[in-house]
Structure 1
């Protein structure tokens, strides 16, 4: 559980960065309705990072320059009739006590109270997100401030995206965040290991998926993303989610699944032979992908540029494809011309945290990659995908039948530490 003091610390850091500015954060909209059925609500990550408040139709304002109120919340008021249908609402009074705001207003009073927190700020910070109506609300308030500037001589003259404030904070995990992430990883490890025990020829992909997601649910977690349980040729589809095929003798099974704990996510992929025995070609590709992953993980070190682990993975994979005769030519030229892309079309990893593809910079300038620092958490997930209908790059050889239909990815969650790295998901065998 992330404590109230952690959220206060986050807000203090943001306010130190915005100085005389005012930052506004919008919650996710109401839960999605489809034919009178309400689907699960998922809070907007930046809003949750700042507040810990997990209800829709809310707004948080940080105004460090204001004389009385530095942290302001606008929330839904209590509504017994509505709560009978959709569950309890925290309400104005309880929100102030529970979430540490200096003042809390009903969301319906936003237009009445927001101007006082914008009037004397020098810059407005807001991310224009999916809520188009609220985007226009912010623009109207800002345009009003601009009109008054000539008369008053003060007010926000520019808008800056909060992304540039929050991303550098969110990309370095605190100890409290790491505790949540470790729990998500531990339960996800358990789920993968249970799935591996279940998977046999004759079992359906959806049965394996059910075992994984049952493990999440019985441990108070939800799937971090739609589980990929891809047998045989399906493993060559990167985001395969139909999960309806019966596993056959001789199949590989690629499982890409992770659980979410209090919105903090794990992300693990393993590939194995359902009957326990690789073919010669399957084993060759598996060992190549594993070698690439091991080399890539070794590059996840403090001070190394973000791109280094992808570059080394590509180098290992391309050399292996050359050795197998699946590519032809000069190693460096093949990489420069991206002739490997029919086999390996994605990057080797991404940030991980409150979002599966988490907030954080990959580059700091056009020519400079972000340098790893302790507290960064990244996935490392090289793969090779030789689809049944693969089309080689121009000038490259046709792929023999015995290699087609092999899809292998291996993915772990790797934390950058002061002296190297720690693989949080090492409990799933490779």
Structure 2
């Protein structure tokens, strides 16, 4: 891997710190049960600034006229490496990841008060981790205890997340390349699940197809717990049981993405278990697809984050009128939110190191205070319609649920859809042909 993108981000952050100090710890290892751990996943903020994969590590950035980029990490340890695997150690990590200096993690507690002394500000993600809040408070108390010799503690403590959230909202070329790769792998996984699908299979069998294809193509694994929801299960937005059988002539909704190099892809596809859409399924699917196409067309620089949601709502509302689910006009449906029983979520979210990535959506409380889209932003476009069994809709719609989700980069003159799983009815039915 190359350390230059991470170094550039640290140096950009240092310009914000001025004469301050920033402390960015990675995530701790988590116990699953007894002495077994969950698979390790680093903290996204830490990874964004380092690319360093090990636990027990902390970045300290010291601003000012002589800036310092310091990594604290585990020392080399032959015995632990025999049990747990390779460790970089401070010396190797310093060069491999482009830091100006590196020290053993065990020395952090001793060094931290000196790093904080006589600095104007401390930048830290307050309230994110109680243990770290306490450790930093202890270091500050140590600095304050030296006030008789003229040593000053930082006069202000500032939340680092706002600065980093703003940085992470606009993806650089390094991030875009990784996210495209994650999207390619996830798209292939969804196509694989379509080809494998047969009536009578269990939902978890399709989940297994996805997991195999993701790992086979080099992904680190799922970016989030996948949803594989057959029939009416798809009316449960966060259904993750994935343990029911797939009935012939029903639809199955799969919401799944993979993680590559820390970055998430996020795709949803809905397709017929038997390989062919029936007329009602086809009609609902075409409405949702048209809503997605209208939303994608509204993603462009200068548009607000809510514009593409409103574009989808207009098409979905007209579709609900055509299906005889609601009555009246589209404008009336939008004003009264008559669509909400069947479309209750937003049309997308930011995407990046976290599947629901960081970054503000609004800059204030007024109706027009939504964030304006700009080149480099990555987001999802995911309209849907959900008709629960027993709902006050035509009986043929009971248990029908469709969502279509793709990943999009805002470009200089519009947007680019960078996921490529089969999406139109013709594409899906062609992939699912069982010749």
Q: TM-score range by the shorter chain?
A: over 0.9
> Please, which runs of 5 or more residues in structure 2 have no aligned partner?
425-435
- Residue in 2 that maps onto 1:404: 398
Conservation of the 8 A alpha-carbon contact between 1:125 and 1:160? yes
- Residue in 2 that maps onto 1:393: none
Distance in 1 (alpha carbons) for counterparts of 2:115 and 2:336: 53
TM-score scaled to structure 2, two decimals? 0.92
- Residue in 2 that maps onto 1:9: 8
Matches within 5 A, 1:98-113: 98-113=96-111
1:325 is displaced (CA, Å) by 2.0
Q: Which runs of 4 or more aligned residues in structure 1 lie more than 4 Å from their structure 2 counterparts after TM superposition?
A: 143-151
**1:7-65: CA deviation from partner (whole Å, max 9, x where unpaired):** 11001110111111111101000243313222200000000001111111111011022
Distance in 2 (alpha carbons) for counterparts of 1:154 and 1:209: 56
Conservation of the 8 A alpha-carbon contact between 1:31 and 1:42? no
- Residue in 1 that maps onto 2:20: 21
- Residue in 1 that maps onto 2:376: 375
Correspondent of 1:90 among 84, 88, 91: 88
**1:144-166: CA deviation from partner (whole Å, max 9, x where unpaired):** 44565687374411111111111
- Residue in 1 that maps onto 2:385: 384
Q: 1:78 to 1:161 in 2, by over 3 A?
A: same
Q: 1:321 to 1:96 in 2, by over 3 A?
A: same
SS of corresponding position for 1:97? helix
Distance in 2 (alpha carbons) for counterparts of 1:385 and 1:143: 55
1:333 is displaced (CA, Å) by 4.5
Conservation of the 8 A alpha-carbon contact between 1:32 and 1:40? no
Distance in 2 (alpha carbons) for counterparts of 1:33 and 1:92: 29
Distance in 2 (alpha carbons) for counterparts of 1:228 and 1:74: 38
1:202 is displaced (CA, Å) by 2.1
Deviates more, 1:135-144 or 1:240-249: 135-144
1:329 is displaced (CA, Å) by 4.3
1:400 is displaced (CA, Å) by 3.0
Distance in 2 (alpha carbons) for counterparts of 1:335 and 1:403: 22
Conservation of the 8 A alpha-carbon contact between 1:7 and 1:51? yes
1:389 is displaced (CA, Å) by 4.3
Deviates more, 1:41-50 or 1:398-407: 398-407
- Residue in 2 that maps onto 1:305: 304
- Residue in 2 that maps onto 1:323: 322
- Residue in 1 that maps onto 2:356: 357
1:141 is displaced (CA, Å) by 2.4
Conservation of the 8 A alpha-carbon contact between 1:66 and 1:117? no
- Residue in 2 that maps onto 1:394: none
Correspondent of 2:139 among 135, 138, 141: 141
Distance in 2 (alpha carbons) for counterparts of 1:421 and 1:343: 28
SS of corresponding position for 1:365? coil
Distance in 2 (alpha carbons) for counterparts of 1:18 and 1:95: 24
Question: RMSD value over aligned CA atoms?
Answer: 1.9
Distance in 1 (alpha carbons) for counterparts of 2:195 and 2:409: 27
Conservation of the 8 A alpha-carbon contact between 1:293 and 1:313? yes
Conservation of the 8 A alpha-carbon contact between 2:144 and 2:151? no
Distance in 2 (alpha carbons) for counterparts of 1:130 and 1:164: 13
Matches within 5 A, 1:158-307: 158-221=156-219, 222-307=221-306
- Residue in 1 that maps onto 2:433: none
1:128 is displaced (CA, Å) by 2.7
Q: 1:389 to 1:178 in 2, by over 3 A?
A: same
Q: 1:343 to 1:61 in 2, by over 3 A?
A: same
